[in-house]
């Protein structure tokens, strides 16, 4: 029988928590020296690329083969570029361009930046098929609503990242695109048959498996026909029966953040992590919020103890834990064999320009009123500067800027302010926000020509009466630059 201390050490190897700050605290380095699997980094860990490289060098000094993971999808989900917005457009823009070679090149450049900074696992791409326009957490993170198109670009993105030397991770299995709630806050349900799931959600996952992806991330999503009442992360039928046995994936299964209510809200994190390992997951991401309460040492060791207890009691086979560790070690071996290519940031702006979709004609904007509808970011995206306002006002000194959270209808006031001058409304996911739609309707009924710059998911909805509608397919820095050029006639 394996000694309990050995079980504890094996369990540590499966865990990738987080820490706060731009330098590694002593406890974080001590956990690595004790055998911790690695860390997931977040925006609050990163000031710039040089600092990130120094941070990761210190982590590797403590554990040379540590998994250092990050969410760098491009577009709205960026950790490297939260101060400025990403120089690369996200998946929706790349899906709109529909040039897989461009998608590969963009992700090769993203991967190169990550590897040069010491990151070896990127939690990207999102390969969810976004069939639900009201999806609050996927949206522009998706390549689109057609499974075959999403699969085509998912494979291209994986190819680019892994050519650069960073392991790619497709998410969120078995698919988060048909939900209208956020799994950070609750357990979404995708109530479809297995036949629909296989023809829609699973198509991109099968494609990236066949293309040699290293990692797939579980989603905290309930699919009653597959998982019963359990979220996918905790479902043996989903993680082992479907993903491993039916679809043939033999790489690493990593969990989405286990602190999310969709995973651990009912049981607490240690028990949820035991269940995730039993379901078939190999690496456990705890998340970005839990460490803000203080050092993770106690939670990490409590979790490792819970896993060891599950093996000692016979609840979890030792072979399951050993298999999880072996897959993680195989990933580390793959990472040691790959090296970075050169980054190509200008390509991001080219892609963003190609993604633009304009309906109508943009009037001259010399003295325009620019109205940005501010919206709270979801947890996955986080806060970053977005919009075209600063780029426009650099060139339009006579423009007037207003920000609104549309808590009340300001259309009459803004129309009076414009007094017939053009109004540019900058918004995200306008179709999901009744107050924003009402504001647009009020402005369009006035005397001013109205231009809507939609920087979120471009649903089928269109505002009536506007002069022009410009969809950017994302709010990254590259999307904003491309939109400003088009609005200014460059």
Q: Are 470 and 452 in contact (CB under 8 A)?
A: yes
Residues sharing a CB contact under 8 Å with residue 117, sequence separation 6 or more, in sequence order:
49, 52, 53, 56, 80
Cis peptide before 310 (omega within 30 of 0): no
- Phi first, then psi, for residue 456 (nearest 5°) are -110, -150
**Cα 321 from Cα 331, distance rounded (Å):** 16
Say whether 366 sits in a helix, a strand or coil: coil
Give me the sign of the Cα torsion angle 142, 144, 145, 146: negative
Q: Is 128 a catalytic residue?
A: no
Q: Are 115 and 344 in contact (CB under 8 A)?
A: no
Question: Which residues are paired to 404 by β-bridges?
Answer: 373
Annotated active-site residue in 107, 184, 220, 431: 184
**Cα 142 from Cα 368, distance rounded (Å):** 33
Residue 447, class by beta-carbon neighbours within 10 Å (0-12 exposed, 13-18 middle, 19+ buried)? exposed
Q: Are 8 and 31 in contact (CB under 8 A)?
A: no
What tokens does 254 get? 């990593």
Q: Are 53 and 44 in contact (CB under 8 A)?
A: no
Q: What is the DSSP letter of 283?
A: B
Picking from 460, 437, 475, the residue whose alpha carbon sits closest to that of residue 145 is: 460
Strands (E), 274-317: 284-285
Annotated active-site residue in 71, 76, 182, 256: 256
- Please name the helix (run of DSSP H) or strand (run of DSSP E) that holds residue 173, with its range, or none: strand 167-173
Q: Could you tell me whether strands 357-360 and 38-41 are parallel, antiparallel, or unpaired per DSSP bridges?
A: unpaired
Q: Is 431 a catalytic residue?
A: no
Can you tell me which residue has the tokens 């053009």? 422
Give me the sign of the Cα torsion angle 417, 420, 421, 425: positive
In the chain, % helix, strand, coil (3-state, to 5) comes to 45, 15, 45
Report the first-to-last Cα separation within the chain, whole angstroms.
Answer: 71
- Phi first, then psi, for residue 354 (nearest 5°) are -70, -25
Picking from 8, 9, 3, 72, the residue whose alpha carbon sits closest to that of residue 43 is: 72
Which residues form the catalytic set? Answer: 184, 256
């Amino acid at each position: 029988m394996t000694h309990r201390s050995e079980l504890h050490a094996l369990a540590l190897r499966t865990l990738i928590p987080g820490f706060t700050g731009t330098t590694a605290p002593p406890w974080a380095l001590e956990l690595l020296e004790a055998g911790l699997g690695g860390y997931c980094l977040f925006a609050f860990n990163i000031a710039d690329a040089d600092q990130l490289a120094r941070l990761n060098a210190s982590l590797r000094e403590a554990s040379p083969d540590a998994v250092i993971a990050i969410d760098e999808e491009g577009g709205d989900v960026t950790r490297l570029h939260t101060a400025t917005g990403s120089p690369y457009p996200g998946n929706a823009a790349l899906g709109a361009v529909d040039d897989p070679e461009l998608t590969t090149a963009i992700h090769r450049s993203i991967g190169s930046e990550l590897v040069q900074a010491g990151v070896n696992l990127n939690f990207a791409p999102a390969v969810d098929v976004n069939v639900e326009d009201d999806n609050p957490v996927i949206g522009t993170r998706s390549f689109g609503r057609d499974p075959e198109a999403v699969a085509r670009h998912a494979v291209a993105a994986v190819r680019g990242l892994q050519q650069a030397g960073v392991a790619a991770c497709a998410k969120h299995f078995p698919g988060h695109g048909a939900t209208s709630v956020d799994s950070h806050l609750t357990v979404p349900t995708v109530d479809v048959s297995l036949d629909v799931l296989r023809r829609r959600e699973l198509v991109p996952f099968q494609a990236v498996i066949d293309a040699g992806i290293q990692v797939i991330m579980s989603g905290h999503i309930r699919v009653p026909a597959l998982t019963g009442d359990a979220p996918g992360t905790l479902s043996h039928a989903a993680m082992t029966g479907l993903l491993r046995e039916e679809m043939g994936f033999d790489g690493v299964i990593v969990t989405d953040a286990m602190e999310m209510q969709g995973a651990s809200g009912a049981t607490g994190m240690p028990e949820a992590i035991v269940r995730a390992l039993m379901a078939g997951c190999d690496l456990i991401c705890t998340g970005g919020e839990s460490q803000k309460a203080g050092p993770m040492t106690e939670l990490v060791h409590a979790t490792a103890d819970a896993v060891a207890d599950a093996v000692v009691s016979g609840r979890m086979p030792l072979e399951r834990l050993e298999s999880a560790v072996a897959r993680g070690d195989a990933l580390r071996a793959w990472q040691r064999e790959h090296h970075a290519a050169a980054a190509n940031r200008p390509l991001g702006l080219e892609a963003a320009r190609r993604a633009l979709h304009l309906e109508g004609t943009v009037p001259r904007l010399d003295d325009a009123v620019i109205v940005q509808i501010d919206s709270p970011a979801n947890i996955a995206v986080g806060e970053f500067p977005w919009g075209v306002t600063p780029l426009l006002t650099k060139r339009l000194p006579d423009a007037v800027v207003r920000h609104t959270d549309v808590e009340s209808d300001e259309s009459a006031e803004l129309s009076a302010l414009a007094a017939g001058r053009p109004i540019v409304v900058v918004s995200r996911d306008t179709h999901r926000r009744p107050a924003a739609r009402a504001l647009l309707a009020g402005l369009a009924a006035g005397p001013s020509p109205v231009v809507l710059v939609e920087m979120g998911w471009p649903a089928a909805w269109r505002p009536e009466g506007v002069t022009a509608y410009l969809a950017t397919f994302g709010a990254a820095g590259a999307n904003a630059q491309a939109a400003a050029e088009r609005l200014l006639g460059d």
